[in-house]
Copies of this chain bind each other. A is one copy, B any other.
């Protein structure tokens, strides 16, 4: 029997009336009322109210009055009914009439309040992360993370996947500019590297015959840090043999549904599939937020030739119909215009047109467009009374990205992006190659082992940018949760790919020879997917930042401000590693 507690602070109810119980936890807060002291005692599971009465035991009450916030205490007492009930918490109908009180540990006053809404700034809470985790919002994210991880394993285990640990101390890849490296003491001058992903190892496992592999695994990327990037992050990494794209999509759609069902209690419909080309055309993004419609409408044929040079000279004129937004004031519209002109969006302007009550259209460019012309706009947008048509123009790729931002902003304003509503989507048929203007050659959009659609292989010679890959992304609420591809397992096709990527046979051998050799010993057809686990959990938690779902995150500069890492190390340690710093 546990000496410290018979129950947690989250479980006692009217059913336990009259029981003698022992609880341990932290002093959340304390109130004096006449001859009584009330203490809210907290642990991971909840809060239970303790009462101390001068009439019963004056000494005990005095001891209780001296307790500070966050003291660790142990009490023994009787469960009694509360006169002043709090029906918002499970334990709110009872309290503990305390008979014994023991201070297990005193506490200094914490540097910020341990409440759902804390008074501590982010930097301070990062420094004292071990106190921040005491707060419900942070603690609940960690509990959510635990649940999602367990359910992922439960599902994949049932589906016969094997969790295989791949090594963390591996070899730096030739394109390894973003690898963290680890000097070897035993082999001076040599380095291990930390994996950016277990890609090579999971493909080797397929060669090994482990036909269904997964791992929830830490990966590492030494990037110049941006907001919401972490140098170490967690991936749900998977690979399957003897599969086509549809097999992987089915399996991981099944996983995603299982998670929503078992973690959130939400039953999801089958996920729609959208070709990459449509995603770009109708949403200006390879990760469209389809919680709301508001698709792009292309207007070149409608708007050109009316003497409005901005439209006439633009490669693409494209807009969205903000349903029911004709009521926006001039001020609101100016704000939208400023929004698209911000450097982060980078548009030059915004044209708008309101569909009036009487069906007529009033635009910001009436000077160039007659009512008849505007009637055509209305038709193109399927506009109805009360709608607001928002139109932008420019080079196709740029204007699509800009309009995508505007669409999301209108979605925000209109409350169409409810974080508790989930709209998953498979984006498929990604281009195999993308043009890199710096090196003036095509690069693999995903990685060089991604297979092209067999029907598109002839295009490799003629229109390589049109070749589609067997590559797919899982998108939820406009966030890329994961992606993967069917790999090339055929030597001839792989050589062809390397040729088109501009590798000489020697370069290909140097950079990928090891994996290519493994493939000569009987590689099965295979493919896989990797889900960003931090990102996935943040979506389940309904929050934007992955930092909030990581127990001990680094800040935007890649620093752990709690333990103060990275830091300099002893000269003797450097010497042992045969290293000198040159900074």
Contact = CB atoms under 8 A, between A and B. Distances in A.
B554 A5 contact: no
Contact of A110 (B146, B194, B211, B521): B521
Contact of A184 (B145, B243, B524, B558): B558
Contacts of A208: 129-131, 133-134, 139
Interface string A121-163: 0000000111101100001001101100110010001000011
B169 A554 contact: yes
A414 to B, nearest CB: 37
B551 A205 contact: yes
Nearest to A183: B181
A550 interface: yes
Secondary structure call for the A interface: loop
Contact of A105 (B134, B234, B524): B524
A516 to B, nearest CB: 12
B210 A247 contact: no
Number of this chain's copies in the complex = 2
A568 interface: yes
Interface in A468-526: 489-490, 514, 518-525
Given A210-B139, A551-B205, A187 B242 contact: no
Contacts of A224: 186
A191 B569 contact: yes
Q: Place the interface of chain A in its size category.
A: 35 or more
A306 to B, nearest CB: 52
A191 to B, nearest CB: 5
A339 interface: no
Contacts of A201: 551-552
B523 A231 contact: no
A329 interface: no
A3 B244 contact: yes
A130 to B, nearest CB: 4
A222 B522 contact: no
Interface of A: 2-5, 24, 26, 42-44, 70-72, 74, 104-108, 110, 128-131, 133-134, 139, 142-143, 145-146, 149-150, 153, 157, 162-172, 176-177, 179-194, 200-201, 204-205, 207-211, 218, 220, 222, 224-225, 231-232, 234, 242-244, 247, 489-490, 514, 518-525, 550-552, 554, 557-560, 563-569, 573, 575-583
12 contacts: A26-B522, A72-B524, A105-B522, A133-B208, A142-B162, A164-B551, A171-B563, A171-B567, A181-B577, A186-B557, A186-B558, A189-B583
